[in-house]
Amino acid sequence: MKALEERILAEGHNMGQGILKVDSFVNHQVDPVLMMECGKEFARLFAGLNATKVLTCEISGIAPALATGYALGIPVVYARKTKPITMPDTVFLTTAPSHTKKREVEIMASPEYLRPGERVLIIDDFLATGQTILALARIAKAAGAEIVGVGALIEKTFEGGRAALSVLNVPIESLARIVDMSDGRIVFG
C-alpha cells in the first residue's frame, strides 16, 4: 500500500537489529486517517472469507484491527497482556516473545468474546518472526474458532514470519513488505 510505504519512509526510523520505529503514526501516536485506509484495504483483501471476528494483540495491533473490523462490520477482540479483575478466572492464555521488550509476554482473551465456530481474522501491526500471530492463533484454536486469514500492516520478510505461519494454511496479506533493513536502510519489495 503506497500511502503506508511513503509514511514509513518519511517518518519510520530504522533503529538497527530489525527494529523499525513507527511510533509517530502506528505504535504510540496513531494516524486515524491512515489506519482507516489500511482497514479498508484489509477488508477488500479478506472480503470473501466471511470472518465473524477480528483478533489482535494489545496494544499496537488495536488501531489496524479496529479499522479492519469497522470496514468489515464485525467485532474486534484484542488479547490482553495483563488480566483485569473484570475478566473471568478461566481464560485462553499463551505466551509470545516480544521483539521490543526482549522477553516472553503472556497474552490472554476471555471466552466471553471468542467462541467455538467463530471465523477469526488475525490483524497485527507487524509480521516479523510470526510468533505473536502464532500465539493469537493458539488462543483462537483454544476457543474452538477457525482462523480464516492473517493481515499485518508491515512485514519484515527477512525475519521468516510468513514461512512460520504456513502451518495455519490461510491467506496472509501485508500492506508494506520490507525486504532489507541493513545499514540503516528501509527497502520495500
Q: Give exposure, 29-38, as e/b (b: 16+ Cβ within 10 Å).
A: ebbeebbbbb
Domain boundaries, the chain: 2-188
Is the Cβ–Cβ distance between 64 and 125 less than 8 Å? yes
CATH (residue range 2-188): 3.40.50.2020
Distances (CA, A) of 185 to 162, 174, 178: 21, 19, 10
Arithmetic mean of pLDDT over the chain? 95
Q: Would you call 182 helix, strand, or coil by DSSP?
A: helix
Q: What is the pLDDT of residue 97?
A: 83
pLDDT tens per residue across span 153-183: 999 999 999 999 999 999 999 999 999 999 9
Q: What is the pLDDT of residue 83?
A: 86
Retrieve residue 96's grid coordinates. Answer: 509470545
Retrieve residue 52's grid coordinates. Answer: 465473524
Q: Is 182 left (phi over 0), alpha (psi -120 to 50) or beta?
A: beta
Q: What is the pLDDT of residue 54?
A: 98
Q: What are the residue ranges in the chain where pLDDT is below 70?
A: 100
Q: What is the pLDDT of residue 135?
A: 97
With vertex at residue 90, the alpha carbon angle to CA 85 and CA 95, rounded to the nearest 5 degrees, is 90
Q: What is the pLDDT of residue 98?
A: 77
Got the DSSP string for 81-100?
SS--TTS-SS-EEEEEEETT
Q: What is the pLDDT of residue 55?
A: 98
